[in-house]
Structure 1
């Protein structure tokens, strides 16, 4: 604890770097990542059994895009902004100055251990903060590579990696950081927020929940099946924005499940649990938890397990009800429960009766249906006729709402998440309005003329 306190004090003394210096550091960070690309890919393959294509696309490539976008726009984002001044303040000038919060704690998860550590790091550094980065202990090889890269690019007073388990996270959360950025489960998010409240520390919580996928009878079923299969089973379903459950119109359920079964076979072969491009569950505990869900409902396809490699084949479960155990918590694995509906009102009422999801996916060719769902359902973000892809653009903010999280980041929003916008009014000395002072004659009458 004493070491952590000393480290934090050192970071609190860190002097805000100029914009050009931040850009230089971000370019150095990108160069270091490129230098260690092979190490990152090997670590992701070891810890999560990710293929090179999946690892590069969802982890390394997204960080490159975040850095490129930030470097291109940082001067514009960071420059002071002039704003209008009301008539009551005539003679003065108003501006908003962007300043870093100071010392930032970033707690990263295990499911995308590289991308979800470095994406917020890019935002925090671009805003001029000093960062303590805590990667997940469940992906130890990735954590080591992260530490190597950060030590290569940064001095300890600007950015440092602290490795360890829950005990280390607990000790870090006791410290008075100026900002906390956490990605993980709802349950741990509540613990983080409680710890932050003791110091009145602002937080961003990127959480999760049960994200629905709606398929209407007018959807392009073949294409929907392909995109849902991709979104659900990427990273073995261990994605916070993966479709958690499928709500499909009764009239097209059989066709959709047939097409999805064919897509699984096409993507991962006849024995997905042994396929080299299909990921593993991160730990024995998660594997055992997911295995219990296989007894819910009826297995349409999948269900096979590779106990040695902690793999569960992509599985679709039919005849599921809201009372089944699989519907009581976020699945976070390669199992997709299916339920049906008959009307749009029915399905929107189902979703509204539950906590607001992090993501929602709608497959339809009807603009009327699209408008109805967007107007009537609240969720963090999502896609129409696709899955996952809204998270892969720096032009769209990413974040949750309600129990699925608070705050947002990516691109411009990453910079502003880690930035305090300081309001400054510069008053003229050339003249003064005496009516504002308590001894002014007729002061109230004059004020009323301005403020009516």
Structure 2
């Protein structure tokens, strides 16, 4: 295994000093992207990423990078999103480390060929499904979770034996810069690269013809990415935003429900693809839920959230103004109301503008419903969402919401946590995306499962029946064999 050259101490110190000072990085221009893709493709074709030892070394390097530069990531995300240290460590860094460690512990098993059950005609053959890497993957992260949306898919790409180029969001410039500066010191310099491209440049980057494109972001950008990838028949994984509904039944623990919803909606100042976007609340508990949410917000962030060290900020003025405008045009504010506080709980109607657009901010609309049937009907009228949440102590209600609605994921009596678990696939469906990742599912996303039949020549005395010139006698024999096999595996065993 060849490892990337170690930089001199002076170069290392210089890189870290620039990272701390937050110097702006230069944009990666199209020709640079072409050159990086070519370098990665040459490395892949040389078989550099194939060996298990190489993959393990790169995964361990990801863990080291996060551990040795935890303070740098905290600082970068603090600059970009005013993200509290606690949120950065728990929802960004630990999430990636868990994925990498899970892959390290299971890589040998994932890489092993899967043996398929034999039948009469393959008794002396070997039927295998072999996972082979796709090649060079392009991974585009989003600004609301800039570290995991870049590095969690990259863990899967590394584990599957691919090269990868990641493109962090330009909106979180300090985090993008940090990844750009640190990765060359930890990961193989030929196989893994970071580009700094603007959102408008990404479709052109996609058209350079990668072997897989993984995109996390909003639906409009996802559509442009998919269209660009279609020009070169490049497979895509899309994790897209949407309106994640949250049903609150009359039979639930209101205090716990309010705490879990408030945490999910307001962490990272509400900037999340998986947070509840609106509450469908049973009318009998609406008043109690509103009061409980008020208490939670006071407990979490105090009387003035601006002074709270636990409350983040919106990523840029564009997102802030957009959220402010739809807030002012919708419903009745029940908590908050001063836009400088960026803390809102709002009662709305179905037709309000805030229910027609994605929300990336600390705004939580509420619509009263009469029963679970009305909630399910409302959810099913909308596009399929990334997540559906339901809070109830009634298992029948939970079962109905889970089975009678369609979404990328479902969670009962909590929110967001299902998207953090390495053992569960996380995916979109319909308008919320396609493909899945996390754990083994990431490995499969970046692999081609190749069917392999290892056969000898010993049965030629039987298989000759399939050859021309075609005779009625041979056809009768093969039809008879096919009829027998239909009771078991449904194909002509004699072939």
Alpha-carbon distance in structure 2 between the residues aligned to 1:414 and 1:140 = 26
Contact 1:180 1:202 (C-alpha < 8 Å) held by counterparts: yes
Cα deviation, residue 343, structure 1? 1.8
Instruction: State how far apart, in whole Å, the 1-side matches of 2:466 and 2:120 are.
Output: 14
For each residue in 1:203-227, what CA deviation from the matched residue of structure 2 results, as whole angstroms up to 9, or x when unmatched?
0000010000100000111110000
Q: Deviations over 1:184-217 (max 9, x none)?
A: 0011010011001001110000001000010000
Match for residue 123 of structure 1?
A: 156
Residue in 2 that maps onto 1:222: 255
Q: Is the 8 A contact 2:93 2:148 kept in 1?
A: yes
Distance 2:360 2:120 in 1: 56
- Residue in 2 aligned with 1:10? 39
Alignment of 1:320-399 (within 5 A): 320-399=348-427
The 5-angstrom pairing of residues 229-240 of structure 1 reads: 229-240=262-273
Identify the residue that residue 300 of structure 1 maps to in structure 2.
Answer: 334
What residue number does 2:104 align with?
Answer: 71
Shift of 1:400: 0.9
Residues 414-423 or 142-151, more deviating: 142-151
Spell out, residue by residue over 1:258-315, the C-alpha distance to the aligned partner (whole angstroms, 9 max, x if none): 0000000000000113322211111101000011122211111012232xxxx512x1
Shift, 1:33, TM fit = 1.6
Q: Report if aligned partners of 2:202, 2:225 keep a CA contact under 8 Å in 1.
A: no
Query: 1:10 Cα deviation (Å)?
Result: 2.1
1:446 and 2:480 are equivalent in the alignment: no
What is residue 22 of structure 1 aligned with on the other side?
55
Give the drift of 1:87. 3.1
Which whole-Å CA distance do the structure 2 matches of 1:231 and 1:269 have between them?
17
Cα deviation for residue 431 of structure 1 reads 2.9
* Stretch of structure 1 that moved more, 236-245 or 3-12: 3-12
Deviation at 1:392, TM superposition (A): 1.7
**Which aligned segments of 4 or more residues in structure 1 are displaced greater than 6 angstroms?**
none
Tell me which structure has the larger Cα radius of gyration: 2
- What is the CA-CA distance between 1:148 and the residue it aligns to? 2.2
Equivalences for residues 54-65 of structure 1 within 5 A: 54-65=87-98
> For the aligned residues, what is the CA RMSD?
1.3
Quote the Cα distance in structure 2 between the aligned partners of 1:163 and 1:383. Answer: 35
Out of 157, 180, 205, the position equivalent to 2:190 is 157
Question: Distance in 1 between the 2:239 and 2:185 partners?
Answer: 28
1:186/1:209 contact within 8 Å kept: yes
Whole-Å separation in 2 of the counterparts to 1:115 and 1:149: 15
Is 1:435 aligned to 2:465, yes or no?
Answer: yes
The SS at the match of 1:421 is: strand
| TM-score, normalised relative to structure 1 | 0.96
Q: How much does 1:89 deviate?
A: 4.1
Q: Tell me the SS of whatever aligns to 1:105.
A: strand
| 8 A contact 1:382–1:388 mirrored in 2 | no
Task: Tell me the distance in 1 between the aligned counterparts of 2:303 and 2:170.
Answer: 33
Contact 1:49 1:277 in 2 (8 A): no
Q: After superposition, where does 1:194-343 map in structure 2 within 5 Å?
A: 194-295=227-328, 296-306=330-340, 312-313=342-343, 315-318=344-347, 320-343=348-371
SS in 1 for 2:427: coil
Q: How many residues align?
A: 446
* Residue in 2 that maps onto 1:138: 171
Pair 1:86–1:438, CA change in 2 (3 A):
farther
Please give the alpha-carbon distance, in whole angstroms, between the structure 1 residues aligned to 2:478 and 2:182: 60
Distance 1:205 1:143 in 2: 20
- Aligned-partner Cα distance in 1 for 2:73–2:36: 27
Residue matched to 2:439: 411
Match of 1:312, SS? coil
Structure-2 change in CA distance of 1:34 and 1:274 (3 Å)? same
Cα drift, residue 448 of structure 1: 1.0
8 Å contact kept, 2:246–2:278: yes
Q: Give the match's secondary structure for 1:69.
A: helix
Query: Secondary structure of 2:146's partner?
Result: coil
CA contact (8 A) 2:58 2:188 kept: no
Say which of 424, 437, 448 aligns to 2:452. 424
Structure 2 unaligned segments of length 5 or more: list them.
Answer: 1-29, 484-495
Q: How far apart are the structure 2 equivalents of 1:217 and 1:72?
A: 44
SS at match of 1:33: helix
Contact 1:48 1:282 in 2 (8 A): yes
